[in-house]
Amino acid sequence: MSTWIPLWLHKLGSPPTFYRVAGAVRPWAMGLALLCGAIGLYGGLVLAPADYQQGDAYRIIFIHVPSAWMSMFIYAVMGAAAFVALVWRVKLAEVVAMESAPIGAAFTFITLVTGSLWGKPMWGTWWTWDARLTSELVLLFLYLGVIGLYHAFEDRRQGARAAGFLAIIGIINVPIVHWSVTWWNTLHQGSTVNVFGHSKMPWDMLWPLLMVMLATKAYYAASLCRRARTDLLALESGKDWVRQVAETEAGR
């Protein structure tokens, strides 16, 4: 492991180092999330023109699409962290994987709810067993399964390992969610945004969407930093650096 992971990453993997770095990163990440979210939502809900087919009903995409992206992105991060934790027994990777699950589940739930709100006027129904919707629902069940399995064990590290196996197995569903509109004939519209190429969406609609996407990434970073710091204190309780943190906090 040490032959290919940089020294700075080894140091960051140390719980006390990560605790300090995450504490410094969190307020900046949250500030970026609030700023980009406010700009993006104002641009999407106020400045962007109405769609020529869907009218103003399309504006829900400024919540729905970034949430859908994050539901897949966070699961990929969770699966990768779980793999590192299982192979190299890195405690911090376990924490990242397990603390990512509730955040990812929340984004997935928002995706399904906003998708239903969008689907009612577009398709005439709140829900249909469409390939994209069904695979996204499976993604939510996988998140909930990881959370449930993690908390099913008294030994938290044993629970993290068991949940990590499920997270890794569930990775197969992420490309299914992403490519479902291409592989199957679905009601869900195809992709209109291509980050690395030409997008079908006009720029005055695209830039607010990208701003909200950046906001969700920053929010995930801030939320993960907060959750991971709290979890590390519980896992490392009794160690000198945790006592020093407690003494510092008590002295404020």
Encode pLDDT of 42-80 as tens digits. Answer: 999 999 999 888 888 889 999 999 999 999 999 999 999
The set of residues, in sequence order, having a beta carbon less than 8 Å from that of 192 and lying 6+ positions away, is: 199, 200, 201
Say what the pLDDT of residue 188 is: 60
Q: What is the pLDDT of residue 88?
A: 87
Whole-model pTM: value is: 0.92
57 in the Ramachandran plot: left (φ > 0), alpha (ψ -120 to 50) or beta?
alpha
Identity of the amino acid at 70: M
- Domain spans, the chain: 24-250
Radius of gyration of the chain (CA): 20
- pLDDT score of 186: 66
- Alpha carbon separation from 184 to 131, 188, 205 (Å, rounded): 7, 10, 27
CATH topology of domain 24-250: Four Helix Bundle (Hemerythrin (Met), subunit A) (1.20.120)
Tell me the pLDDT tens digit for each residue of 177-221: 988 877 666 656 656 666 555 567 889 999 999 999 999 999 999
Residue 152 contacts residue 107 (beta carbons within 8 Å): no
Structure tokens of 158?
A: 């044993």
